[in-house]
Amino acid sequence: MGDVETTMIHQGYKWTDGTDVLLPQLVRITPHVLTQEPMSKHTSFGIGGPADFFITIQNRGELERLLHLIREYHIPFFIIGSGTNLVVRDKGIRGIVIKLGKEFRQITIEHNLITAGAGALLSKAVNIAAKNELSGLEFAAGIPGTIGGAIVGNAGTETGCIGNIVNQVEVLSLDGRFEVLTGSDAEFSYRNSSLRKYIVINAELLLTKCDFLGIISMMNSILKKRQNAQPKGKGAGSIFKNPEGVSAWKLIRDVLPKGIRIGGAYISSKHANFILADKGAQADDVERLIIYIQERVRKDCGVELETEVRIV
Ligand SMILES: Cc1cc2nc3c(=O)[nH]c(=O)nc-3n(C[C@H](O)[C@H](O)[C@H](O)COP(=O)(O)OP(=O)(O)OC[C@H]3O[C@@H](n4cnc5c(N)ncnc54)[C@H](O)[C@@H]3O)c2cc1C
């Protein structure tokens, strides 16, 4: 789990004294407050229990005020993008889930720099870059989720990752300060960065001029490859990171029979590193299958598989 959720969720807090105390204060910050919101509506797995509060924040002022309240009451919180890299447990999320709304979804271009709000869809940035004949984001064609999710997890494929093109990132620290960090401050590594302790506000991506047809043909070939390799269905992409020098899917394919399942969760027969969920599947099914795969790969191959998805 990212630092944002671990640091806050495990602190002692008093906000549980009642929804009645907190709700009016939250609604004073923004009307976009939902209570007992099923997280299954907000994750690509389509599973996950309720969040105590699910708040869509429209602008920086609201975000600052919310963070102030969070600190005052020691409320645990979790920031969500599109929920495409998450397994939310069946008991749901205690405290506040924050989603970034309108002001955080804007994308602007200046010369060969694209500034994308953390709440904007990565796919939108990919398309805008292509239309403006800017190359560098083609690798991301077909990766779902937001800019924020992509930045903190350094989303990518074997053809590239977002960390390679980040010029700077604006973040909000948990003590309420907006800061601008450089790409190297962000310490991007394989599906990770040092940004999990912040709320990412936006990212400035440095691209290069290229002709439109060149970009489109590269994107099309990447999309075709994805379609051929990846299954359709409810999941969160690759479940495990690839260990050094070997593909996780090969290890799983070699030690487990195709299509093996626990409850409503099963390993895709098309791609062994994808777990998919049937309608009615529980997060617990997915988590138990993850643990089972890890145990088998550890026992049979002596390799420790680390999850790429975040279990919340
Ligand atoms: C079909 C499919 C294919 C996929 N293919 C790929 C792939 O090729 N490559 C790849 O890298 N990933 C892939 N993924 C996984 C996923 O799409 C990426 O990890 C994506 O970047 C997650 O973005 P999100 O907005 O959905 O983040 P979420 O799942 O909502 O959140 C992921 C993490 O980011 C944190 N986060 C989100 N926004 C912010 C913010 N503003 N500030 C701070 N923290 C934030 C959350 O707290 C959480 O810890 C795939 C997923 C699916 C379903």
- Whole-number Å distance, alpha carbon 177 to ligand 1 midpoint, is 24
Q: Mean pLDDT throughout 113-119?
A: 98
Whether residue 10 has pLDDT greater than 60? no
Q: Which atom of ligand 1 is nearest to the CA of 86?
A: 29
For the entire predicted model, the pTM comes to 0.94
233 Rama sector, left if φ>0, alpha if ψ -120 to 50, beta otherwise:
left
CB burial readout 99-117, b (16+ within 10 A) else e: bbbebbbebebeebebbbb
Asked if CATH classification 3.30.465.10 holds for the domain at 106-216+221-227, the reply, yes or no, is yes
Say which residue, 94 or 6, is predicted with more confidence: 94
CA angle, residues 307, 50, 268, in degrees to nearest 5: 35
| Alpha carbons 185 and 174: distance in angstroms, whole number | 17
Q: How many CB atoms lie within 10 A of CB 12?
A: 5
Q: Which atom of ligand 1 is nearest to the CA of 191?
A: 11
Pairing of strands 113-117, 107-110: antiparallel
Assign 13 a pLDDT band (cuts: 50, 70, 90): very low
**Residue-wise pLDDT tens digits, 52-92:** 999 999 999 999 999 999 998 889 999 999 999 999 999 99
Contact 114, 204 (CB under 8 A): yes
Q: Mean pLDDT throughout 162-178?
A: 96
Q: Mean pLDDT throughout 161-184?
A: 96
8 Cβ inside 6 Å of ligand 1: no
pLDDT value at residue 72? 87
Q: Which CATH number fits domain 232-311: 3.30.70.20, 3.90.1280.20, 3.40.50.300, 3.90.78.10?
A: 3.90.78.10
Would you call 196 a catalytic residue per the annotation? no
**Residue-wise pLDDT tens digits, 267-297:** 999 999 999 999 999 999 999 999 999 999 9
pLDDT value at residue 44? 98
| Gyration radius (Cα) of the chain, Å | 20
**Residue-wise pLDDT tens digits, 27-58:** 999 999 999 999 999 999 999 999 999 999 99
Q: How far is CA 176 from the centre of its chain?
A: 22
Which sequence spans correspond to the domains of the chain? 3-103, 106-216+221-227, 232-311
84 Cβ inside 6 Å of ligand 1: yes
Would you call 105 a catalytic residue per the annotation? no
Whether residue 311 has pLDDT greater than 50? yes
Q: Mean pLDDT throughout 100-118?
A: 97
Tokens 């290890």, located at residue: 251
What CATH number should be reported for the domain whose range is 3-103?
3.30.43.10
48 Cβ inside 6 Å of ligand 1: no
pLDDT value at residue 103? 96
pLDDT value at residue 5? 45
Name the catalytic one among 40, 94, 308, 310.
Answer: 308
Assign 216 a pLDDT band (cuts: 50, 70, 90): very high
pLDDT value at residue 139? 97
Would you call 308 a catalytic residue per the annotation? yes
Whether residue 206 has pLDDT greater than 80? yes
